[in-house]
Structure 1
Amino acid sequence: MLKSHAILASTILLIVGSAERVEASPHRFLSLPAFESLVAPDPVLIDWRILGGLDLVTGKAPASLQELDGKVVQIAAFIVPLEDDMQESDEFLLVPYFGACVHTPPPPPNQMVYVKMRGNKTVKIGWWDPVIFEGVLRFKQVESVYGASYFEMEGIASKPYKPAAK
């Protein structure tokens, strides 16, 4: 038994010792951002009441909201394109209810999220379809054709919203 272990160990050392040595170079590795959604901790599920905690008068946010700055979050929302005839886009707004901005006055700035998709990836825009949207949330005021938004998101992914079964 000892002899077979010694032979196995010698064989492994011989193989490892004769393996080609490769110098590390940056072009041999994929960049880390390509893996962010795979290695990031589970996204934080938020709702519009949390974003509504940002005070419109003072611009101050409760600590629970401040903790989300720079974090990967998920939120249920409707997509509003920045141009009416867009079928898909890499830039748009997320709003809490259907028709916001288009047929009614826009929601307040703490109830709109400006999204720019990572890597110019496009998202299909379904006016009637709620989505669960995932991205990196940041506190940044952005102006759009529909007014100001106090939040910006680097979009990672979206999927159709499905209400929980009762």
Structure 2
Amino acid sequence: GYGIGGLSVGESHDDMYRILDSLCPEMPKNKPRYLMGVGFPTNLVESVARGVDMFDCTIPTRNGRNGGVLSRFEKLNLKNKSFARDFTPIDSTCDCYACRNYTRAYIRHLYTAGEILASRLCTWHNLHFLVNLMKEARIAIIEGEFPAFRSNFMEHFMEGQYTK
């Protein structure tokens, strides 16, 4: 396969996409294409649209350590005081262990108490979120519906209107 590195290190997303637009068509289709260091959901979907197959990134773990969680609906940092009495799951549409068993308020409490479990739960959720996003993209590709999936995701991500 092929590794693509040196992107997502300061250039605009549009510049990154232009580079992928010129690189990916030159690579054999029967070899995997691995984009290093890219992990924000919209970047993943746009990179898949350009032919990228695999990714790695610190976003799910780094954000999780610092209270940041990925959600289709809103940008969340569970360290914020506003979550002290929020007894809802991180994401009501998510079926990960953290969302099924813990509330935003409890996870915030874990952060304020210095408990490592807070970071682990947020990281678990973030990884689950990204794995499911890529699963949905794979299904859309197999079903010949990726352009519609991409359009829907890009239009509605973080607006609370995204539908699977």
TM-score in terms of structure 1 length:
0.22
Higher helix fraction: Structure 1 or Structure 2? Answer: 2
TM superposition score normalised by structure 2: 0.22
Give 1 or 2 for the bigger CA radius of gyration.
1
Identify the structure with the greater strand proportion: 1
